[in-house]
Amino acid sequence: MNATLSLVDSHAHLDMPEFDPDRADTVRRAFAAGVVAILCPADVTRAASLPAIAALAADFPTVLAAAGVHAHQAKDLTSDHLRELAGLAAAGAIRAVGEIGLDYHYDLSPKDIQIEALRRQLAVATEAGLPVILHSRLSGADIVDTVDGEGFRGGGILHCFTEDWATARAMLDRGFFVSFSGILTFPKAAALREVAAKVPLDRLLVETDSPYLAPVPYRGSGRRNEPAFVVETARVLAGLRGLSLDDLAGATTRNFAGMFPFEKTGGQC
């Protein structure tokens, strides 16, 4: 238990089946480790996803729900999904549209279809007045072009950042926050650490991307990542910036709360 630490995990897939055995206990462990809020993106192409996140959000006021269709599932996006997202936004059931974006590494949907799915969901976010959670892998230039082409001005989070500084700079200029995951702790991530050292402190966030990408020292042997582990990424980021862990945590939590105001009751749940 860390009584003073105040961290936000800005991206955790607690809807995934990996958390079926202990979803609520996972949140409690995070709160005990100093996490005060968790943003959970649901995927509306998976029937079990949104109900799992909605149930958590109902039980824990600082578990915040988002919803979208991931780049991987872009080819499955239908008009019904877009209507569902608009309805969720109108009902106040989600705080952001996401995660949405482009992934040219896995390339699980054709690029033009990924861009079209991103464009249509940016339009839903604009209509709803919500920020977005963007995923970008080897697709930074197209992310920037699509955000510009759609005239999207709602801001949000560029999550699990792995792109270059030019992409970070372009998205910072467009009002986005840049969120770093456990990748930052990996020995080979020197270039990413250079970018992370340059992002203005008032635009930084940290995340786990659970159940994926467990940070060092939890990495390895297929171990499940969980929001409590976000402290390890925050520790590395603090070191890069010459800050104490508490100061880095305070800054990233303030950044998050500026975009997604929440009552800091997490530790008491």
**Residue ranges binding Zn ion (CB under 5 A):** 99, 135
Q: From the CB of 212, what's the least distance to Zn ion, in Å? A: 7
Q: Calculate the alpha carbon distances from 23 to 53, 124, 158, 208 in Å.
A: 9, 29, 25, 15
Judged by CB, which is closer to Zn ion: 73, or 253?
Answer: 73
Nearest to 220 by CA among 193, 187, 180: 187
Judged by CB, which is closer to Zn ion: 39, or 204?
Answer: 39
Q: From the CB of 38, what's the least distance to Zn ion, in Å? A: 13
Q: From the CB of 36, what's the least distance to Zn ion, in Å? A: 20
Return the number of other C-beta atoms located less than 10 Å from residue 258's C-beta: 10
Contact between 161 and 195 under an 8 Å Cβ cutoff? The reply is yes
Judged by CB, which is closer to Zn ion: 156, or 245?
Answer: 156
Judged by CB, which is closer to Zn ion: 6, or 181?
Answer: 181
d(CA 178, CA 221): 28
Four-point Cα dihedral 148, 182, 106, 128, nearest 10: -40
> Residue 68 is encoded by which pair of tokens?
């979208």
Q: From the CB of 191, what's the least distance to Zn ion, in Å? A: 19
Q: Nearest residue by C-beta to Zn ion?
A: 135
